Structure 1
Amino acid sequence: MTAPAPSRPRPAHPFFDHPAPLAFAHRGGAAAGLENTRAAFARAVELGYRYIETDVHATADGHLVAFHDATLDRVTDGSGPIAALPWAEVRRVRVGGTEPVPLFAELLRAFPGVRWNVDVKSDAALVPLLEAVDTAGAWDRVCVGAFGESRVARARALAGARLATSLGTRGVLGLRLRSWRLPGPAVRGALCAQVPVRHGGIRVVDRAFVRHAHARGLQVHVWTVNDAERMRALLDLGVDGIMTDHIETLRTVLAERGAWA
Structure 2
Amino acid sequence: MHVRAVAAATTAFMGATVLLLPTSAAHAAADAENPLVVAHRGASAYAPENTLAAVDKADEMGFAWVENDVQRTKDGRLVVLHDATLARTTDVEELYPDRAPWNVGDFTAAEIARLDAGSWFSTSYAGARVPTLEQYMRRVSRNHQKLVLEIKNPQLYPGIEQQTLKVLSNEGWLGPAHLRKLVIQSFSADTVRRVHELRPAVKTGFLGTPDIADLPEYATFADQINSSYTTISRSYVSAIHALEGPHGKPLEILTWTVNDADNARLVAGYGVDGIITNKPDVVREATLS
Q: Return the TM-score normalized by structure 2.
A: 0.73
How far 1:248 moved relative to its partner?
2.1
- Name 2:3's counterpart in structure 1: none
What root-mean-square deviation, in Å, do the aligned CA atoms of Structure 1 and Structure 2 show? 1.9
- Name 1:69's counterpart in structure 2: 83
Tell me if 1:59 matches 2:59. no
Richer in helix (by share): 2
**Which has the higher Rg, Structure 1 or Structure 2?**
2
Tell me if 1:34 matches 2:61. no
Question: In the aligned structure 2, how far is the partner of 1:168 from the partner of 1:33?
Answer: 24
- Name 1:96's counterpart in structure 2: 118
Uncovered stretches (5+) of structure 1, i.e. residues with no partner: 1-16, 199-203, 257-261
Question: In the aligned structure 1, how far is the partner of 2:57 from the partner of 2:47?
Answer: 11
- Name 2:108's counterpart in structure 1: 86
Q: Which amino acid aligns with 1:28?
A: G
- Asked whether the 8 Å contact 1:26–1:53 carries over to 2, the reply is yes
Q: Return the TM-score normalized by structure 1.
A: 0.81
- Asked whether the 8 Å contact 2:138–2:171 carries over to 1, the reply is yes
Richer in strand (by share): 1
- Asked whether the 8 Å contact 2:31–2:64 carries over to 1, the reply is no
Which of the residues 148, 161, 164 maps onto 1:117?
Answer: 148
Give aligned pairs, total: 226
Runs of 4+ off more than 4 Å: none
- 1:10-43: CA deviations, max 9, x gaps? xxxxxxx943321100011222241110001100
Question: In the aligned structure 2, how far is the partner of 1:238 from the partner of 1:149?
Answer: 24
- Name 1:167's counterpart in structure 2: 206
Worse overlay, 115-124 or 40-49: 115-124
Question: In the aligned structure 2, how far is the partner of 1:239 from the partner of 1:251?
Answer: 14
- Name 1:206's counterpart in structure 2: 233
Q: Percent identity?
A: 30
Uncovered stretches (5+) of structure 2, i.e. residues with no partner: 1-29, 94-101, 120-125, 244-249
Q: Which amino acid aligns with 1:104?
A: L
Residues 1:93 and 1:150: Cα distance change in structure 2 (over 3 Å): same
Question: In the aligned structure 2, how far is the partner of 1:27 from the partner of 1:168?
Answer: 15
Question: In the aligned structure 1, how far is the partner of 2:50 from the partner of 2:115?
Answer: 14
Question: In the aligned structure 1, how far is the partner of 2:57 from the partner of 2:44?
Answer: 11
Residue correspondence of structure 1 range 82-231 to structure 2 within 5 A: 82-97=104-119, 98=126, 99-112=128-141, 113-123=144-154, 124=157, 125-139=160-174, 140=179, 141-160=181-200, 162-169=201-208, 172-173=209-210, 176-178=211-213, 186-187=217-218, 188-198=220-230, 204-216=231-243, 217-231=250-264
Tell me if 1:239 matches 2:279. no
How far 1:127 moved relative to its partner?
2.5
Question: In the aligned structure 1, how far is the partner of 2:106 from the partner of 2:221?
Answer: 33
- Asked whether the 8 Å contact 1:51–1:117 carries over to 2, the reply is yes
